[in-house]
Amino acid sequence: MHSLSDLQDSVEHHFAAGPAAIGDHDALGAFNDLRTALEAGTLRSAEPDPTSQTGWRVNAWVKRGILLGFRIGKLTDQSIVSRGHPEHALFGRHEQTTFIDKDTYPAQRFTPEDGIRIVPGGTSVRSGAFVARGVVIMPPAYVNAGAYIDEGTMVDSHALVGSCAQIGKRVHLSAAAQIGGVLEPVNASPVIIEDDVLVGGNTGVYEGTIVRRRAVLAAGTILTRGTPVYDLVHSNILKATPETPLIIPEGAVVVPGSRAIPAGFGQQMSLSVYTPIIVKYRDEKTDLSTTLEDLLR
Ligand SMILES: CC(C)(COP(=O)(O)OP(=O)(O)OC[C@H]1O[C@@H](n2cnc3c(N)ncnc32)[C@H](O)[C@@H]1OP(=O)(O)O)[C@@H](O)C(=O)NCCC(=O)NCCS
């Protein structure tokens, strides 16, 4: 096992070697140590850093290490084998993917006689992702390499946690929430969702956007680097700059809105563009609207 600084040196060295790292035992060893540390949550692709402008520091070398893993990986058969058909050679061999949940809601069992096709796939947490204890992941969900999901967070059905995304404690990623991944460029900040944020259903948070603690993204809100956000409370417009991503302030309640196009053909046609709006900052009513799911845990 490498020490952290040895690991960084080794990752940088093998990443810089390009294709020469393929088949190199040492490169594989370094990557395995990196992946183990990522899965244990002791190493992150981005981490809180009060001295940085955004409050987060990107560990570009860790992202290079994740990319190294893609580069040196070989294609292998990773099939999940269930009981085969009686006429097939695999019949009798039985392996099961493990799921853990409460006994009051066991998964239903089906047989081929039910005539229902349940296509395999479902939830997958990729190697190199860290998932803390107490996280609940509802199927189907996908958690990509380098992602970090902290304690007590709920990842609901059809949610994506993209590569290197950092998700805080007690966050609720509602059904179909898409948290974009940012693996390249390696110095780019990933999407960061801080503690106690509610990410509503069908939302999309992309391109390194930072959502500060306790903020609420109403269902259907989409945030990217290029999306200006209008704050009705402070009468200002939040935007990404060349140095900083779009940052949603602590406790902001953002809802999907629209804004009229003020000139030209757009005005002539009475068009408007999608615009997220901060309608208020979190209050007791918001807490009430967002805590109901505790009962389901
Ligand atoms: C944002 C949300 C939490 C409501 O928060 P709240 O603090 O209770 O908001 P309020 O009801 O006080 O509304 C404040 C203002 O925003 C508006 N507003 C609230 N939710 C809105 C939404 N989703 N879209 C547009 N406007 C919305 C209200 O009309 C109100 O405007 P007004 O003051 O002009 O009347 C809720 O709308 C929401 O989106 N919840 C997430 C639902 C979800 O995805 N659940 C997950 C299931 S898996």
161 CA from centroid of ligand 1 (Å): 24
Give residue 79's pLDDT.
57
- CB-CB contact of 254 with 218 (8 Å): yes
The protein residue whose alpha carbon is closest to atom 16 in ligand 1 is: 279
Chain length of the chain:
297
**Rounded distance, CA 219 to CA 291, Å?**
15
**pTM for the full model?**
0.85
Q: How far is CA 252 from the centre of its chain?
A: 20
User: CB within 8 A of 133, min separation 6: which ones?
Assistant: 151
The answer, yes or no, to whether residue 34 has pLDDT greater than 80, is yes
Cβ atoms within 10 A of the Cβ of 157, count?
15
Question: 254-268, pLDDT tens digit by residue?
Answer: 999 999 999 999 999
Best of 279, 281, 282, 286 for a ligand 1 pocket test (most atoms within 8 Å of beta carbon): 279
Average pLDDT, the chain: 88
Predicted confidence at residue 127, as pLDDT, reads 86
Atom of ligand 1 nearest to the CA of 282: 7
Atom number, ligand 1, closest to the C-alpha of residue 257: 25
Which residues does ligand 1 sit against, CB inside 6 Å?
A: 156, 174-175, 200-201, 216, 218-219, 253, 255-256, 279-280, 285-286, 289-290
Peptide bond preceding 185 in cis form (omega within 30 of 0):
yes
Helix 25-40 and helix 60-72: axis angle, to 10°?
Answer: 130
Q: Residues 183-211: pLDDT tens digits?
A: 778 778 899 999 999 999 999 999 999 99
Query: Which residues are CB-contacts of 295 (< 8 A; sequence separation ≥ 6)?
Result: none
